Amino acid sequence: MSHPLRMVATRLPPSINDSKVTKIGGTAVPNSTARPTSRSRLPHAGDPIRSSIDAIAVVSLVIQRPLEAETVAFFLDENSRSSTITVISGTSDPDSMLSIVECLTMVVVSSPSLCGFVLATVRPASPPNLPATQPGDVDRWIEANEIADSHGVELIEWFVVGPAGIDCPREMLGEPERW
């Protein structure tokens, strides 16, 4: 099964991942062969976020270095634009993302211009040679989707960032991207 994150690789800034390979969606891609994103610069406020690569670029702008336990979220409007990035620090409990999804869903519901949001959970304690996803992340993805969907809100993506790279629990289910 082919996934866009496996077909187009981007290397996060060296301070995030300075190994010889970048892991995206569970696939190791040598950094020497990683292709640039379709965007020639980092996204700015108001630029459309139309792909996982664009979303990862936004996340890479705000996560702490060295990596710290935190969750980054940003909202998208009907034109896939974001003007608000939220960082929740200290999210070391894997289930904390469910509480965050509940809160963010209420924000989207109360703002007519917003349609959905993207999450990225940073897990710095993950082994440097293994995915940052944990047992139960697929169930968390399903539950988070149900929370958002029950209010007519789209959880577009949930990235799990660790020293070895970025993973998406959605991919473990074989679900397509939502971009």
pLDDT digit string (tens) for 88-144?
999 999 999 999 999 999 999 999 999 999 999 999 999 999 999 999 999 999 999
* CA–CA gap between residue 75 and residue 54 (Å, rounded): 13
Of 174, 114, 176, residue with least CA distance to 148: 114
Query: Are the C-beta atoms of 107 and 147 separated by less than 8 Å?
Result: no
Examine residue 70 and state whether it is found in any structural domain, yes or no: yes
CATH of the domain at 63: 3.40.140.10
Query: Are the C-beta atoms of 114 and 107 separated by less than 8 Å?
Result: yes
Per residue in 11-57, pLDDT tens? 333 333 434 434 444 444 333 333 334 555 677 777 899 999 999 99
Q: Which pLDDT does position 41 carry in this prediction?
A: 67
pTM given for the model: 0.78
* CA–CA gap between residue 100 and residue 59 (Å, rounded): 16
Examine residue 98 and state whether it is found in any structural domain, yes or no: yes
Examine residue 160 and state whether it is found in any structural domain, yes or no: yes
Examine residue 179 and state whether it is found in any structural domain, yes or no: no
Per residue in 155-166, pLDDT tens? 999 999 999 999
Examine residue 124 and state whether it is found in any structural domain, yes or no: yes
Q: Which pLDDT does position 152 carry in this prediction?
A: 96
* CA–CA gap between residue 124 and residue 111 (Å, rounded): 33
Enter the DSSP assignment of 81: B
Q: What sign results for the dihedral spanned by CA atoms 87, 37, 148, 162?
A: negative
Query: Are the C-beta atoms of 156 and 178 separated by less than 8 Å?
Result: yes
Examine residue 138 and state whether it is found in any structural domain, yes or no: yes
**Domains identified in the chain, total number:** 1
Which residues have a Cβ under 8 Å from the Cβ of 20 and sit 6 or more positions away? 30, 31
Of 42, 51, 48, 49, residue with least CA distance to 9: 51
